Amino acid sequence: MDKKSGYKNLAEKFNIDLRECKFLGEGHNGIVYLLPDGKIIKIFKKIKNCESEYSILEAVRGSKYFPKVYGSMGNYIIRDYVGGECLKDYIKRNGLDKKVAKNLINLIEEFKKLNFKKLDIRCKDIYVQKDKSLMVIDPKYSFTREKSFPKHLSKGLSKLGVLGDFLEVVRIEKPQVYEEWTGKLIESGIL
């Protein structure tokens, strides 16, 4: 029983009937359904993962890059649906244009502002909106894993053949950051 609200579970609190929900996707940690009102429910295998993801989404509340959360109980989180297209699929169709590249730099800048320890994100967890702004769907280890540059993001962009395009935009927009990142990318064998 949730002491604060008096509800036994989220299904009761949010009036959720899974028969009315649409399956959206499944990952390592959980399964995600679209609710009739446009929000989503993510059901986790482990309560621990649910709690850590919820605490990240709580900490970034108000950031335009993350879905708003409405509540969590046990192994569920209710949050906003994120539309748009996964960055991976977007790049496969369009390549990496300057605007999206700039928004990727801004996303990492936002991570710094939010005091993330992990300045990194995978392409599959970024969704490109119609106006080319970006949203993150699945934040993990943001405050716990030390990563001073976008290693996995760069690896992903490299696989898609657009790491050079991305770094060229970084070089023009943020020369100091370019020096730092390229140094670390060479060190880790990605460049």
Residues that bind Mg ion (CB under 5 A): 27, 138
* Residue 27 touching ligand ADP (CB under 6 A): yes
- Which range, of 3-11, 24-32, 68-76, 171-179, touches ligand ADP by CB under 6 A? 24-32
Closer to Mg ion by Cβ: residue 124 or 147: 124
Contact 39, 80 (CB under 8 A): yes
What value does the CA radius of gyration of the chain take, rounded to a whole number of Å?
A: 18
Site for ligand ADP in 102-141 (CB under 6 A): 137-138
In angstroms, give the least distance from the CB of 130 to ligand ADP.
15
Residue 40 sits in the site that holds ligand ADP (CB under 6 A): yes
User: In angstroms, how far is the first alpha carbon of the chain from the final one?
Assistant: 52
Q: Residue 40: name its binding partner from Mg ion, ligand ADP, none (Cβ under 5 to 8 Å by kind).
A: ligand ADP
Nearer to Mg ion, 136 or 185 (CB): 136
Cβ partners under 8 Å of residue 9, min gap 6: 73, 74
Tokens found for residue 17: 């009937």
Q: Is 4 exposed, middle or buried (0-12, 13-18, 19+ CB in 10 A)?
A: exposed
- Partner touching 73 among Mg ion, ligand ADP, none, CB below 5 to 8 Å by kind: none
Distance from C-alpha of 159 to C-alpha of 84, rounded to nearest angstrom: 22
How many C-alpha atoms does 172 have within 13 Å on its Cβ side? 9
Check residue 7 for interaction with ligand ADP (CB under 6 A): no
Closest contact distance (angstroms) between CB of 170 and ligand ADP is: 26
Site residues for ligand ADP per CB under 6 A: 24-30, 32, 40, 42, 67, 79, 81-82, 137-138
